[in-house]
Structure 1
């Protein structure tokens, strides 16, 4: 028998919403207050979600567990396969000795670590987000910052904060495309609207990076670099989102990186260059890389894997090649999972094992193509891959458990309850709309996943309160990106990438405040866009 979701199982929407919210509160508390490791926090919260799904929503116990297994299976290709191969490429550079070359090459961008952080974590990270998405930018940019001498925890912090503004258009605009599919409205309109939200955020993010790297001194001395990098990115993203949202991040990333390189020809931060070693205060956060001259061929070989990544992900955007890759894999109905929404629509419970076109597979291909450049043999490549998987350790359980949690909440109806409760707040929902997306990304770990969960709810709520559905639909995506940095999946990816598995709670406390602050900025912006004050910004 199918399971029928009930949006208000207790008869009181406030009580139902509080119960539906409880697993998320437990998860955030275990990470941020009680400092649990991410894998144990994920497992415990998964258990809480099961209890609520069965005890409050009346979901059959075996089906609730099956929903968790379905979610865990979804994470294999979406997160694990992707991140394994992203870190494998980095580990290949270490094994071949090109890690040190890469470290010295990035130092040549300029000695100031604050500007290097903007170029790598913000600009180059946005380019990777545009092409690969998922946890790739967090994994790759973190280790690049480590290559400059940044200590692991600081590197992960900077990269997670930087991985915000480009997320709405990540994966060649996939979150916006999903938003158009689930709502039935033109994706181009959502892209243009999201560009008028996250582009303003892009101006702020480089300043946050400079502050995190070097505090108030960083803001005083390096603000021109943050301004040029942020404004250039914002303008390029704003304009390109109206023309071709799929290319918004690529254009913005390249534009901001070039603008910074041009700026550095005529300007340097005030005072002595702030190197990795000079901001190591408070226990030695950062250590300075050694100086050594490398040949041009060595430098090209060190950068080759990342050039190959860009080339591979650019080529697979051609429809003919994409069709071939999409044909490699299989799709089947997940057994034992038959769910119907409160409105009577069947929930899609198919499992798509798209191994050919999966981001992780494309990264694996990029790594294989990079082997000749790095001069690594097949046997060594396999051994390095095995060490990479072992490097993740408990982070694998963290990712599996959080995906299981998100699918139990979604399949049982807990997500629908939260959405209905927030949508019942009237005109003030325009302020709360980004928070819905924030919760969606906190649960699923992806902006596309949050749009799939809540996109239709946002546009329906907009019609009920007389707001523009394009505005609130885009707000779901724009607000969601603020949770990317604190989602347990990405915390696990970040700590695994820098070799600090088990330190997710420490990393969470470092960035949670920034997530809330930036979310508040987006909430205020969207609310003003729903009023005559900034209503002219709605396309």
Structure 2
């Protein structure tokens, strides 16, 4: 039997945490310093993590390698499965010739202003996709759509990564928050539900502050000071309506539906606002983006039928996810297959707390978001095949199948990256390296309130999932907050919310997100990383200050 230790290096927690960071440091040095391809950087970091586990944490060689295989399995399914299907889902519209009509529709809504169109796609529509799917689907789909608008690849990558922050906490129908509640409720379903609702309400007093400003930041990224001067009004309409709805839903309605409703409200608010407000300098911006001027004629070509058909895939995906996530989630979950992982699921590996660290793999064939995207894609392809509008658009199920095969081949290296990174995460988790880092940060006394979001930031940066970060650190956050004498009278749920929000701002630098954005835009992961890292760190610092102030000066904000 192997039981993880939090301080295996000379019995020193600080030194152990420093050594545990070596695999992560290796990955980022390989990616940014050496400029290695992402999958090679991930393989190297995985090898280092295995060595650290064996030599530093005294984990048996076989257990270290088996832990890596479980991570690889989880990386392949559901993560890679979801990502590939998300990219293919959009390409169905391209193969059907409908993507141009979709571009013209957003052109019509945005008055021909690329900045407003991109904001609508990346923030509002991306928020809707995050609410329903998550796991990188919004980045993959919206990046491709923004490129179709004429935005340059590097700007498109940065814009979608930044836009994907606001809705992450409530993504996949509130899964990260539900997970946090379950991690501290000790199997009590009622307590887990109550805790999750309280966490959601606290996040609802944090996330909207970021959501309000993100649309303005997007137009600045796309067009600098001119973008801020010309588009501040619609940016605040979108950000404000999203933020207010996010706060209301999370505190007074169903937190699982927070992002769904906020995204739809923000889109509707922009459509109404654009009826009474006209953008300035539209053709100047289009010229800078290498696009011809617009007088609205391209949009006027659109008939109601063409607009509807362009939006069909997204109507279908909302319907499919609505049915699966809100209508029959329990029935689908009943089909999940629990697979005890060979050689380690019999109690052979224990966490530092003496518990199973998660050695059972769940094969969720029907409840997986990737399967839902596949169903939505097949339905969309079938609709396009049946309705061609007098031969204007051509589509066949065979073409859709070939497109899926091409997606699998084109994304092979990104798939390898994700599989290796999840292997890295599992080795670090099962061996105790991740907990050593977390325990060191949690033992910081009064400074814990400021440092707390960093745990979620690190966890999501490594795993690419806010849900996984909450699974890793929620118990640690809760117990550390309860035991900290400097935090007497402060609800421990604040730090579960801080962990969740830390994951929100950490997701943009996760290797999975970088790989997805790279595939969608054609940019290199290292270049995207350099662009998004300052934003991620800046958001993290702002969040740390906010959480610290909410323990004292701003404690009136806590529900």
TM-score range, shorter chain: over 0.9
Task: Give the counterpart of 2:240 among 218, 231, 243.
Answer: 231
Give the superposition deviation at 1:272: 4.2
* CA-CA distance at 1:133 after TM superposition: 1.1
Equivalent position of 2:433 in the other structure = 414
Within the alignment, does 1:508 sit opposite 2:529 as a pair? yes
C-alpha distance in 2 between matches for 1:183 and 1:269: 49
From 372, 376, 387, the counterpart of 2:382: 372
Please report how far the alpha carbon of residue 499 of structure 1 lies from its aligned counterpart in structure 2 after TM superposition: 4.0
1:212-250 deviation per Cα after TM superposition (whole angstroms, max 9, x unaligned): 101122112211122121111111111111122111111
Corresponding position of 2:184:
183
**Would you say 1:212 and 2:213 are equivalent positions?**
no
Shift in Å at residue 36 of structure 1?
A: 2.1
Alignment of 1:116-135 (within 5 A): 116-135=117-136
Aligned to 1:445, which of 461, 464, 489? Answer: 464
Higher mean C-alpha displacement, 451-460 vs 251-260? 251-260
Asked if 2 retains the 8 angstrom alpha-carbon contact of 1:149 and 1:287, the reply is: no
Q: Structure 1 residues 366, 441: CA separation in 2 closer, same or farther (over 3 Å shift)? A: same
Q: CA deviation at 1:271?
A: 3.7
Alpha-carbon distance in 1 for matches of 2:86, 2:40: 25
1:324 aligned onto 2:323: no
SS of structure 2 residue aligned to 1:317 = helix
Q: Which residue of 1 aligns with 2:6?
A: 7
Q: Once the 2 structures are TM-superposed, how far is the Cα of residue 329 of structure 1 from its aligned partner?
A: 4.3
Bigger drift between 325-334 and 349-358 goes to 325-334
CA deviation profile, 1:43-95 (whole Å, cap 9, x unmatched)? 11111111111110011112111111110100122321111111111111111
- What residue in structure 1 maps to residue 364 of structure 2? 354
Partner deviation per Cα, 1:381-408 (whole Å, 9 max, x = no partner): 2111101111113111111111111111
RMSD: 1.8
- 1-side partners of 2:451 and 2:497: how far apart? 13
Bigger drift between 254-263 and 486-495 goes to 254-263
Asked whether 1:335 is paired with 2:371, we answer no
Can you give the 5+ residue segments of structure 2 that lack an aligned partner in the other structure? 186-191, 386-394
How far apart are residue 348 of structure 1 and its match? 2.3
Bigger shift: residues 4-13 or 375-384:
375-384
Quick check: 1:193–1:474 contact (8 Å CA) kept in 2?
A: yes
Residue among 316, 321, 328 paired with 1:313: 321
Matches within 5 A, 1:391-410: 391-410=410-429
d(CA) in 1 for partners of 2:330, 2:241: 35
Separation (CA, whole Å) in 2 of partners of 1:447 and 1:103:
31
Aligned residue runs from structure 1 range 263-282, under 5 A:
263-273=273-283, 275=285, 277-280=286-289
Give the CA deviation at 1:14: 1.2
Aligned positions of 1:53-64 closer than 5 A: 53-64=53-64
Paired residues of 1:214 and 1:279 also in contact (CA < 8 A): no
Counterparts of residues 417-432 of structure 1 (less than 5 Å):
417-432=436-451
Distance in 1 (alpha carbons) for counterparts of 2:99 and 2:227? 27
Between 1:170-179 and 1:225-234, the stretch displaced more is 225-234
Give, in whole Å, the separation in 1 of the partners of 2:231 and 2:329. Answer: 43
> Is 1:529 matched with 2:528?
no
TM-score (norm 1): 0.95
Asked if residue 477 in structure 1 is aligned to residue 530 in structure 2, the reply is no
The 1:318–1:105 alpha-carbon spacing in structure 2 relative to 1, beyond 3 Å, is: closer
Note if contact 2:382-2:397 (Cα within 8 Å) is conserved in structure 1.
no
Matches of 1:425 and 1:16, distance apart in 2: 15
Secondary structure of the residue aligned to 2:365 is coil
Task: Give the aligned length.
Answer: 529
Other-structure match for 2:257? 247
Q: Scaled by the length of structure 2, what TM-score is found?
A: 0.91
Q: Which moved more, 1:22-31 or 1:233-242?
A: 22-31
